[in-house]
Every structure is written in C-alpha cells, then in structure tokens.
Chain A
Amino acid sequence: EAQVTQNPRYLITVTGKKLTVTCSQNMNHEYMSWYRQDPGLGLRQIYYSMNVEVTDKGDVPEGYKVSRKEKRNFPLILESPSPNQTSLYFCASTPWQEQGPQHFGDGTRLSIL
C-alpha cells in the first residue's frame, strides 16, 4: 500500500530536549516536505527536498533541521525544542516538484512544555 509514515504520532516533551520526527514514503517520490499546522494559520511549509541530498528552507524553517540521505526518508529534527514549536506536523511527498497532489502522512502532534 502506497503511504507516507510518520513517527511518533504524539509526543509530549520538555524545552531543550532534542527530538526527531521520522518520515518515510514507499512511493519512490522525489519531492518531500514538512509542514506545521496551527489553528487559523493553515499549513506552513518548514523545509522541502527535491531529491537526495537536496534540501531547502520553506516559510518557517527557524528552529528546525532536516536531512535527505535516502530517497524514502526525510526526518525533521528539533535540536532545542521550544513551546512555540507545539503544533501538528505533517510530512508529504509528491512524484516531482509539487506538481501534483501531495500524499500526506497521518500527522504528528507535538507538545513542548
């Protein structure tokens, strides 16, 4: 089954404790991206990657890092999480540069205390 898998689905943690949210897709898609979704603000892109070893900042990259060492994986890293990073996060992939419907993961709800 074609899917985008995110882990964990839920996480409550404390300020400053490094965390990683994993994202994996089994559709051989080149393009992957990370979004955060906050009430009233819609989806905002954090980082995106057009292929292996190619990553670019989206609209709200501060406080986040990503890597794309393999085509299928695109982890999101919060080196020193802060409460303003409490949000719902989605990973998404498309076959090419956003020129098609995005396949979303189920989301990760992060709470930073």
Chain B
Amino acid sequence: GQNIDQPTEMTATEGAIVQINCTYQTSGFNGLFWYQQHAGEAPTFLSYNVLDGLEEKGRFSSFLSRSKGYSYLLLKELQMKDSASYLCAVMDSNYQLIWGAGTKLIIKP
C-alpha cells in the first residue's frame, strides 16, 4: 500500500532551526508538496519538490531524495507564528495526492 510517514509532534524554541522529516512509499512519484496548516484553518502551500536537492524559500527550505523516498522541511529563525501542523503530500503515478497525517510543531519562547 501507499504510505507517508511523519513524526506526530515536535517541539522547538523560538529563534532556533527545526527539521521535519517525511518518508514515503508510493506507486510512482510525480512530486512532493509541503503545506502548513494552523489549527482549524485550511492548509496553505509551502513548497514543491520533483527533483533531488534543496529548494529554498526565505526561512523555509525543502529537500528531496527520490532514491531514499525521503524529504525534509527545514524552518529557520523560528517564530511563534510557525506553530502549526506541517503536511507532507506525494503525488503518485496516477497524479493522485497521498497525504501524511501531519506533524504538529510547537514553538516555545
């Protein structure tokens, strides 16, 4: 079956760096997405990786290794507003999105 694994919850300190990992096993691969979701709100798009390597967007970066079925989202200079859930989603060979359950990130002062 298809599977996306992410840690359930992580805690980090304001101003620090945190890395959220995502491993996947899917029928084919057509890209990996990261979304941010604040409690009770809709997910918002953060990044998209389809080739191996690092994509940087301001304080957020996302890395992909297709051979390892692995991605991470790196958040730098953490702010309190970064407290949210981070969702990893992989597009399979049928162009269907498979979603992970999300990682709840708690930022402490």
Residues on A close to B: CB < 8 A? Answer: 40-45, 58, 90, 97-102, 104-107
Contact = CB atoms under 8 A, between A and B. Distances in A.
A101 B97 contact: no
Interface residues of B, number: 22
Contact of B95 (A97, A101, A104, A107): A97
Contacts, number: 44
> Chain B contact residues: over half helix, strand or loop, or mixed?
loop
Contact of A99 (B30, B42, B44): B30
Contacts of B43: 43, 90, 102, 104
Nearest to B101: A42
Interface string B24-52: 00000011010000001111110010000
A45 B96 contact: yes
